[in-house]
Amino acid sequence: MGRAEAGRDAGRPAWHWGGMKKRGTTATSAAVLLTASVFGAVTLAGCSIDVPDPAAPSVVQQAPDLATPTITPGHDAEAVAAKDLPFSAGGTLAPEFPVGISDGLKETPGWKPIKENVAGESQYLKSDGCLVAAKVSINQAPLALGDDRASTVGLFAYLDPTILPDYLKTENLRWGGDLDKPGPHVEVLLLEKPAAPGARAIAVMARVFSTPATSIYISVSCPDASTLASARQDIAGRLIIVPPSA
């Protein structure tokens, strides 16, 4: 994600399905997440999304090691991390402890990191040309509209008012656990842009975790629908969402 341009209208959506804004001069720069202290921008194959990150002093990324969460008084983080986290269970998380994203893709055959945990953002390139960017943002309380699903729908609506709830699909990603063992899952919302002839196939997955005021964004841009499907399988199995440590 990079610094938002000065003078940009706050809240103006940058991803329009009818005509995407073009940015960047290379496929790599156009398919990565850019970070900003106030606004984060998800950039995919020339399409940009601006995401509010109000007054964030910094973006926090959990350590890649998926250590067992500690247990704090009144909250059993280990028990929460051991179960699936559907949208309806978002309230079981503790406040003030952010969710993270692991770096499991860098050890996956065919993938290599091109940016590692820079201001909460990591980027990965696959040998077939797919590009993945993953970012964690904190201080997301202004996006909390109720439960996590409503908050995430609201996030997409903020990005572009033309993105209706019916365009979003529920997707499951890994929720903690060991990389090479079966584990619980966390629900996110998926927005997918089918590839037009000669254009790249794009998907964005996101979730607002209202209680800890954290949001996660994972974007993927691939040469075509087939490579996108393969990349999404890798993401679902290897890019683990890390539960809060307390």
State residue 196's pLDDT score: 83
Domain, as residue range, for 167: 58-242
State residue 111's pLDDT score: 97
- In the predicted model, residues of the chain with pLDDT beneath 70 are 1-75, 246
Query: Which CATH number does the domain housing residue 168 bear?
Result: 3.40.1000
Whether 27 is in a domain gets the answer no
CA distance 22 to 17: 12
Whether 1 is in a domain gets the answer no
Whether 122 is in a domain gets the answer yes
CA distance 160 to 33: 17
Whether 39 is in a domain gets the answer no
> What is the number of domains present in the chain?
1
State residue 24's pLDDT score: 34
State residue 74's pLDDT score: 53
Phi, psi angles (nearest 5°) of residue 93: -75, 155
Whether 30 is in a domain gets the answer no
State residue 155's pLDDT score: 87
Whether 231 is in a domain gets the answer yes
pTM across the whole model:
0.72
State residue 203's pLDDT score: 96
Phi, psi angles (nearest 5°) of residue 230: -65, -40
Whether 33 is in a domain gets the answer no
Question: From the CB of residue 226, how many other CB atoms can be counted at a distance below 10 Å?
Answer: 12
Whether 3 is in a domain gets the answer no
State residue 158's pLDDT score: 84
